[in-house]
Structure 1
Amino acid sequence: MPYAAVNGTELHYRIDGDRHGSAPWIVLSNSLGSDLSMWTPQVEPLSKQFRVLRYDTRGHGHSETPKGPYTIDQLAGDVLGLMDTLKIGRAHFAGISMGGLTGIALAARHGERIDRVVLANTAARIGSPEVWVPRAARARDEGMVALAEAVLPRWFTAEFIAREPLVLAAIRDVFAHTNKEGYALNCEAIDATDLRPEAPGIKARSLVIGGTHDLAAKAEQGRELAAAIPGAHYLELDASHISNIERADAFTQAVLDFLTEP
């Protein structure tokens, strides 16, 4: 299981595709309460044309949970540090939710390192203190198993939940085993982040993906984000918050088309 010491934190990562080949790199960043396994539907198709780097955000999966507070600067810096460790000069980037927020910061502040960026089910300002303060407190006080019952039904439509119980069980297992302090610290990092003034400065070619039924980062917010980024393309999928799983085929094809178009 590969780890890299980045910014004083051991980050777990995984590479698919020919690591020593010449294909472009793409970095995939997970949502709050998940880990790099959330990208499983995309890995095989992407790795046929790209070198794919996935990692567990600090406080998630097999990455360490250093003391807080956490900031969006740290989350973006972890990506850059991991790229530096692996000698990756530039890469495409795709992130879901919290991972998308990280992508906005990277593209706005470190555009020289980012080629094209996919920002899915995210916004330049996600939620409010009324959401994140009690969410962080509940994670710390009640634990992740209790929190799963409140959060996971918002990730997928009722139809998907009924149709894919095994998929949901695997996602619930990852959520339940997420470090509760790591989760809370990332809630607080999201709450402290407002990148709306910075989004118009993004120069990378950008694809914003929204979910029609997303309650966490609403489709309206996705359209606002796309409108703020010069030249960004907006795509809306018939999905809730984790659209890369609920509409895996459509999501994957859209990303491939975007990354490979001239």
Structure 2
Amino acid sequence: MAERLSLDTGFPRLVDNNLRRLRLADHDTVVAQRGDTGPAVLLVHALGLDWRMWEPVMDALADGRRVYAYDIRGHGAAVGSPSPYTMDDTARDLLGVLDGIGVQRAHVVGLSFGGGIAQSAAVLAPERFVSLALLATTDHPFDAFEGRALSGEVDGMAAQVAPSLTRWFTANALAVNSSSVQYARQRVIDGNPTDWAAGWRAFKGLDVQGKLAGIPTLVLAGEADASTTPEIMRGVASRIPGAVYRELPGTPHMQTLERPELVAAALAEFLG
């Protein structure tokens, strides 16, 4: 059941938030919505952040569409949800969100960890997908994932700020210290080490290569992405039959937080 929720979510807040509290199989989360008519688009955020990382693009995408973004388990309103968990658990969460908002089929967009979740859900239930957009993500685990999990547990969340933000943003954005950078920094500092580690360890179990077919797919890379580089993203696209590959100039890993206008335009063109 979805319950209307009045909640001040803090930065970035572009317009009054239309939020619902939603009960999934083993935890509660929140779902934000922009737009009331048209095809459904579900946005899945990156590890360490929350649904608000999509706010810079949601209004643009909501022109003729219903756009939803939710907090994945262990993040935002879902902090402290049961762990450890698997990528299949996150996939079932995504399908549970679709059920909770009354959507049978949706365009699904995932960035980074969110892209792994979207791919896992597409393998589990391809019939629920109208299309798939994969931003700054991977289709296989990285060796670094366990080290990031362990560092969160041993060194604490303050120690994750520098390595995370330098992977996520360009040097210029960090120097300017924009509101988007401040938002991301605060989300990491305020993060729960147990949830942080659980996310990275779930990501280690990503198993989707060679299992995606038949869903129109956009693979959207950032030219300046130091984490999921254009080379990695071209590899992802090459392993999905019919996938469209695009590369955004001057764009780092956190595409929506540094170059939202480019992301919104590319997604709007793909979604039609």
User: Scaled by the length of structure 2, what TM-score is found?
Assistant: 0.89
Indicate yes or no: 2:209 matched with 1:196: yes
Of 227, 230, 254, the match for 1:216: 227
Cross-structure match for 2:9: none
Of 236, 242, 256, the match for 1:225: 236
Q: Which runs of 5+ in 1 are unaligned?
A: none
Q: Distance in 2 between matches of 1:250 and 1:67?
A: 36
Indicate yes or no: 2:104 matched with 1:86: no
Cross-structure match for 1:257: 269
Q: Is the 8 A contact 2:26 2:82 kept in 1?
A: no
CA offset at residue 64 of structure 1? 3.8
Q: Which runs of 5+ in 2 are unaligned?
A: 6-19
SS in 2 for 1:62: helix
- How many residues in Structure 1 have an aligned counterpart in Structure 2? 253
Cross-structure match for 1:110: 125
Residue by residue over 1:124-153, the C-alpha shift from the partner in whole angstroms, topping out at 9 and shown as x without a partner, is 01412xx12221111122221221122111
Cross-structure match for 2:217: 206
SS in 1 for 2:246: strand
Q: Which amino acid aligns with 2:33?
A: I
Of 155, 163, 169, the match for 2:176: 163
User: Scaled by the length of structure 1, what TM-score is found?
Assistant: 0.92
Residue by residue over 1:7-58, the C-alpha shift from the partner in whole angstroms, topping out at 9 and shown as x without a partner, is 111112111211xx4x111000000111001001111111122111110110
Q: Is the 8 A contact 2:44 2:115 kept in 1?
A: yes
Structure of greater relative contact order (alpha carbons < 8 Å, 6+ residues apart): 1
Q: Which amino acid aligns with 2:132?
A: V
Q: Distance in 2 between matches of 1:80 and 1:192?
A: 19
Moved over 3 A (4+): none
Identity of aligned residues (%): 30
CA offset at residue 164 of structure 1? 4.4
Residue by residue over 1:194-218, the C-alpha shift from the partner in whole angstroms, topping out at 9 and shown as x without a partner, is 32132xx321111001122222212
Q: Distance in 2 between matches of 1:126 and 1:219?
A: 16
Q: Distance in 1 between matches of 2:267 and 2:177?
A: 23
Of 238, 243, 249, the match for 2:255: 243
More helix by share: 1
Residue by residue over 1:85-105, the C-alpha shift from the partner in whole angstroms, topping out at 9 and shown as x without a partner, is 221101101010000111112
SS in 2 for 1:49: coil
SS in 2 for 1:53: strand
What's the RMSD between the two structures over aligned residues? 1.4
Q: Distance in 2 between matches of 1:67 and 1:61?
A: 14
Q: Is the 8 A contact 1:215 1:241 kept in 2?
A: yes
